[in-house]
Every structure is written in C-alpha cells, then in structure tokens.
Amino acid sequence: QEIGVIGIPFSKGQSRHGTDLAPQKLREAGLIKKLEDHGINVTDFGDLPLETHPDDLQIGNTKNPKTVGAASEMIAKSVQGILKENKTVLALGGDHSMAIGSIYGHWLAQPDLVIIWVDAHADINTPLTSGSGNMHGMPLSFLIKELQQYIPELPGLEYVKPCISAKNLAYIGLRDVDPGERKIIEMLGIPAFSMQEVDRFGIKEVVDMALKAVDPNGDKPIHMSFDVDALDPTLIPSTGTPVHGGLSLREGLYIAEVMAATGRLSVVDIAEVNPMLGDAKDVAKTIDMTLEVIQRCCGRTRRGAYPPGYTVP
C-alpha cells in the first residue's frame, strides 16, 4: 500500500502556539526516510498553505470559526485528492480540529468510512456544550448526522456537511470527557472504550470490540484519528492537554498494527504534537514516540517482515 503524507501546520483550533510546527519537526526527525527504509512506498505532498483569517471572530464562545472552516475545506480537498490516487493518507497535524477536514475529505472519496477515534478526549462538544470554545474539542459534532439539531450555524463552516452516522464512530483511550460529551455519547449510543475498559478487558479485546462495533463485516474503509494525548503524558509530554493514566506505548503500537493489518486503513490523522511545550528532551521524546506509532500505522510490524521473493542468501 502506498502512503501519501500531508502536513497540516495548524493551531487555531486551540489556544497554544506550536502544533503548527509538528509536521516540520516530524519530517526533520526523519519520518519519510524511516518509512522508506522499511520498504514503505511514500509520497510527501508537503504542507498545506493554511492561512489565519484576518477578521475572524468569536461566535458565542467558539473561537476562530472562519480560520478553522477555511482550513477544513483545504484539508478535505487534499485528502480527497490523495485517496483518489489510491494512496493511504497520513495527515500530520496540527491540532485536532484538522479532523473536520480530513474526515469530510475522506467521506467525499469513500462515503462508507468508519472512524476509530483514539484520544484522551471525546472531541464531540458542540459549540453550545463546549466550555473552552476551542474547536479542537468539537470536530466530531460538526460531522455526526444525529447531532445537527444541536449545532448552531457558524460562519466559515458552510463547506462541511454532517456526513457520519453515530454508529460508525468508536472511541479508544478516553479519560477526560466533559458532561455534554458524556450525555451525547449515551444519547447516540456511541461505543466508547475509555481507559477503564482498556484496564478491564485489555487492549486486544478493546480493539476487537471497537472494530466489531463500527464495521461488523470487516469491509469498510477505516479513518483512524490518533490524538497523541491518548498515550500517557510520561511518553508524550509535549502536547497541549495531557491527562494522566493514558495508553502505554505498546497499547498504542498494538492499536496501530491492528488497524494497518486490516488492509482497510485509508486515512490516519496524527494530532496535537506541540513542539513548543516542555524542554528539548520532552520534545524529542514526544517526536520519537509519535514516529513509532506512525510507522506501525504504515505497516511496519514489530514481528518483522521481508520483501516479496526474498530468500536467505
């Protein structure tokens, strides 16, 4: 499977600078070469030329809707285009509002997609349930069809239409869910495997249950939206909203390997790496752990592999 990489240097879905630098830092740490060295066919489409809207506004408490909306449209078109070339998209964020565009673009190309959302947070606040007004905590609310009666109109988001049914979304790794989000999860019956379920059942059962819930026949294109804060903050210190008690590296790698092994992983988002948080060691560790996850998403297994036709010399 060929991988198409796009960088999404974006930070306006939350209030800290720095997530916009993550694509560059991941590339500087040798991302493309690491993938190529393991026989993975990669095309780097570079970074999207995202812009901050000069006269953006706050609607209620929702911040930067025009900037996020314009970015979403550009991201969606790029993801759609790369999928049309039959490549798997590796979308390097950027804060998690990037998923509005990447999922919408995925839907334009493959409308039967299902979503596995790996995150400490549920990111399904509506503009009205959100306490922070940060759009990285809201991406799913704009996409889930069943929520549309709860979504006020926002200037800038006209391009994105609700397109995903709640039954096609499952969560793994939750441990910081706002009241409105918990209510929505229960109201819509969204399968949500929090860290408590990871502890209770183990990661293998949780991944099996999540896939079974969204894709019982095992034939749907998969969108994995991976917020690096799903991993424990001891592994990923350089992220904006760390929460204690997260996934181990091995649990993260297991999720990534299983998703890649389905052969149906179509789009991977990597969100919320922030190289401006923490000291140099924190940043290096965060980048290193993120590169581990990315490589497993792209098919590099821990068990090892050899090229087709290889024989022992």
The Cα 68–Cα 66 span in angstroms is 5
Which residue's entry shows tokens 């424990």? Answer: 232
**15, 132, 262, 301: residue in contact with ligand DIR (rule CB under 6 A):** 132
State CA 136 to chain mean position distance: 11
**12, 25, 34, 96: residue in contact with ligand DIR (rule CB under 6 A):** 96
130 binds ligand DIR, rule: CB under 6 A: yes
12 binds Mn ion, rule: CB under 5 A: no
137 binds ligand DIR, rule: CB under 6 A: yes
121 binds ligand DIR, rule: CB under 6 A: yes
**HSE of 271, CA atoms in CB hemisphere, 13 A:** 32
96 is catalytic: yes
Which of the ranges 26-34, 54-62, 83-91, 124-132 carries the binding residues for ligand DIR, by CB under 6 A? 124-132
232 binds Mn ion, rule: CB under 5 A: no
Which of the ranges 2-10, 131-139, 163-171, 218-226 carries the binding residues for ligand DIR, by CB under 6 A? 131-139
**20, 123, 197, 269: residue in contact with Mn ion (rule CB under 5 A):** 123
The Cα 266–Cα 83 span in angstroms is 8
Cα 131–132–137 angle (5° rounding)? Answer: 100
20 is catalytic: no
Which partner from the list Mn ion, ligand DIR, none does 257 bind, CB cut-off 5 to 8 Å by kind? none
**121, 220, 223, 264: residue in contact with Mn ion (rule CB under 5 A):** 121
CA neighbor of 287 nearest in space, from 90, 6, 51, 21? 21
17 is catalytic: no
125 binds ligand DIR, rule: CB under 6 A: yes
227 is catalytic: yes
CA neighbor of 112 nearest in space, from 149, 49, 167, 35? 167
- Tell me the residue number closest to ligand DIR, measured at CB: 137
Which partner from the list Mn ion, ligand DIR, none does 134 bind, CB cut-off 5 to 8 Å by kind? ligand DIR
229 is catalytic: yes
Residues between 149 and 178 with contacts to ligand DIR, criterion CB under 6 A: 178
The set of residues, in sequence order, having a beta carbon less than 8 Å from that of 170 and lying 6+ positions away, is: 114, 115, 116, 117, 190, 191, 192, 193, 210, 211, 213, 214
Cα 124–170–210 angle (5° rounding)? Answer: 165
106 is catalytic: no
For residue 78, give the DSSP letter.
Answer: H
Q: How far is the CB of 22 from ligand DIR (least distance, A)?
A: 14
The set of residues, in sequence order, having a beta carbon less than 8 Å from that of 75 and lying 6+ positions away, is: 6, 8, 48, 91, 98, 100, 101, 102, 105
CA atoms 275, 278, 284, 286: torsion sign: negative
The tokens for 106 are 């995925």
The tokens for 51 are 């812009």
136 binds ligand DIR, rule: CB under 6 A: yes
Pattern of binders to ligand DIR over 211-250, x per CB under 6 A?
----------------x-------------x---------
Interface positions with ligand DIR (CB under 6 A): 96, 121, 123, 125, 130, 132, 134, 136-137, 178, 227, 241
Interface positions with Mn ion (CB under 5 A): 96, 119-121, 123, 227, 229
What are the residue numbers of the active site?
96, 119, 121, 123, 136, 227, 229, 272
